[in-house]
Amino acid sequence: MLDAFSRAVVSADAKNAPIGGGELAALRNYVAEGNKRLDAVNAITSNASCIVSDAVTGMICENTGLIQAGGNCYPNRRMAACLRDGEIVLRYISYALLAGDASVLDDRCLNGLKETYIALGVPLQSAARAVAIMKASSTAHINETNTTGTNPVETRFRKMETVQGDCSALVAEAATYFDRVIGGLS
Amino acid sequence: MKSVVTTVVTAADAAGRFPSQNDLEAVQGNIQRATARLEAAEKLAAGLDKVTKEAGDACFSKYPYLKQAGEAGENQTKVDKCYRDIAHYMRLINYCLVVGGTGPLDEWGIAGAREVYRSLRLPTAAYVEALTFTRDRACSPRDMSPQALNEFKSYIDYAINALS
């Protein structure tokens, strides 16, 4: 497993060169934006159950066949497995965002995930859709652009009370990790 | 590769939980010290060739017997290899400064080093002398800021302890 720093080390080692100027600038940026990154990870982890259940619910709303007899989210046992997997995927994405590198996501989550799902008969398209919804709500939480949606009295709605700032780079980075999962499933 | 972030993530993953406040605090502490280490890494990278030359020269002047026939530096090729090894250690220390942990030194410098040196009949004392010279030669503020120097020296000491 690598983080942003050890990724720089591994690629410098392949060139047999010390790490200087250009590569250090990127790492200095990681350091300078460090607090934003921690807030972003916190925004995901603090709202994890909401993000996951919302994504799975949304996936089912778009395809109600999933919870009818014979569907892949029927009975509760399989629905629970679905929620569990959503949480696992989101957890590895939060690790990747914390580390600033996708290797932990690749090695420990995506490696063999598609094959496992095919073997278990899990519909990849639905799984990818749930991840896409998690991407939308996670990036909204990081950016604090989340809304109550169609329900104006949504009781679970909350905003992180962090100082407002430019989080576009982090949002874009987080989005790449979700896209990586979607890419790995399709 | 062992670093604060990977250690934190490994522990969280083993417990199957999201990164907790403790984990974020640990990473935050690492980030706070990062400026000094990155400065040290930058200065070391910039002066790597010079540092290597001085360290190697100091080593051969303390142990001139190394250049006698049958010793580790008996011809120019072997001497060059000694300088190359010192540069290797400096590069790994540069990596450690970047990562903020001893991972690169452990994995690429120290693991198996004793066995290799023993089978090639190389004296570790010579490497220790070269690293010690570098450690004592470095000073602040000429080379880097005090905190950066502190980080730099701690990794040199780590390498020295592993070779002693």
- Report the alpha-carbon distance of residue B54 to residue B83 in Å, rounded: 10
Contacts of B33 (CB under 8 A, 6+ apart): B100, B147, B151
The ipTM is: 0.86
Task: Identify the pLDDT of residue B71.
Answer: 86
pLDDT score, position B72 = 85
Q: Domain holding B132: CATH number?
A: 1.10.490.20
- How does the average pLDDT of chain B come out, rounded? 91
Q: In the prediction, which pLDDT does B36 show?
A: 92
Segments of chain A scoring below 50 in pLDDT: none
Q: Tokens 């490497």 map to which residue?
A: B127
Domain total for chain A? 2
Distance, in Å, from the CA atom of A4 to the CA atom of A83, rounded to the nearest integer, reads 30
Residues of B within 8 A of A5 (CB-CB) are 3, 5, 98-100
Q: How many helices (H) and strands (E) does chain A have?
A: 9, 0
Q: How far is residue A179 CA from its own chain's centroid?
A: 9
Cβ of B3 within 8 Å of Cβ of A45? The answer is: no
Contacts of B15 in chain A (CB under 8 A): none
Among B3, B41, B90, select the one facing A24 at the smallest CB separation. B41
Nearest CA in chain A to B84: A16
At A45 the pLDDT is 95
Whether B88 and B155 share a structural domain: yes
Chain B residues in contact with A134 by the CB 8 A cut-off are: none
B27 and B44 together in one domain: no
Whether B17 and B39 map to the same domain: the answer is no
Cα dihedral across residues A95, A15, B86, B45: positive or negative:
negative
At A156 the pLDDT is 79
CB B81 within 8 A of CB B135: no
Percent of chain B with pLDDT over 70: 100
- What are A4's two structure tokens? 């942003």
Q: How many domains does chain B have?
A: 2
Q: What is the pLDDT of residue A82?
A: 95
Domain assignment of residue B134, given as a range: 34-163
- Residues B75, B122, single domain; the answer is yes
Tally Cβ neighbours within 10 Å of residue A13.
Answer: 18
Tens digits of residue pLDDT in A56-80: 999 999 999 999 999 999 999 999 9
Which member of A45, A48, A104 has the closest CB to residue B9?
Answer: A104
What pLDDT score was predicted for residue B70? Answer: 84
Nearest to A93 by CA among A55, A148, A124: A55
* pLDDT tens by residue, B44-102: 999 999 999 999 999 999 999 988 888 888 889 999 999 999 999 999 999 999 998 88
CA atoms within 13 A on the CB side of A137: 27
In terms of domains, do B22 and B46 share one?
Answer: no
Domain that holds residue A23: 1-32
Instruction: Please tell me the predicted confidence (pLDDT) of residue B44.
Output: 94
| DSSP of B84-108 | HHHHHHHHHHHHHHHHTSSHHIIII
Does residue A46 share a domain with residue A27? no
Residue with tokens 């001893």: B102
Backbone torsion region of residue B112, taken as left when φ is above 0, otherwise alpha when ψ lies between -120 and 50, otherwise beta: left
* Residue whose structure tokens are 């090894």: B85
Confidence at residue A152, expressed as pLDDT on a 0 to 100 scale: 79
Beta strands in chain A (DSSP E): none
Confidence check: pLDDT of B16 > 90: yes
pLDDT at B131 exceeding the cut of 90:
yes
pLDDT confidence of B121, banded at 50, 70, 90?
Answer: confident
The answer to whether the Cβ–Cβ distance between A18 and B100 falls below 8 Å is: no
Q: Verify that B39 and B9 share a domain, yes or no.
A: no
- Taking a C-beta distance cutoff of 8 angstroms, is the pair A91, A98 a contact? no
Residues of B in contact with A13 (CB under 8 A): 95, 104, 108
How many angstroms separate the CA of residue B96 from the nearest CA in chain A?
A: 8
Residues A25 and A64 in one domain: no
Per-residue exposure over A170-182, b if at least 16 CB sit within 10 Å of its own CB, e if not: bbebbeebbebbb
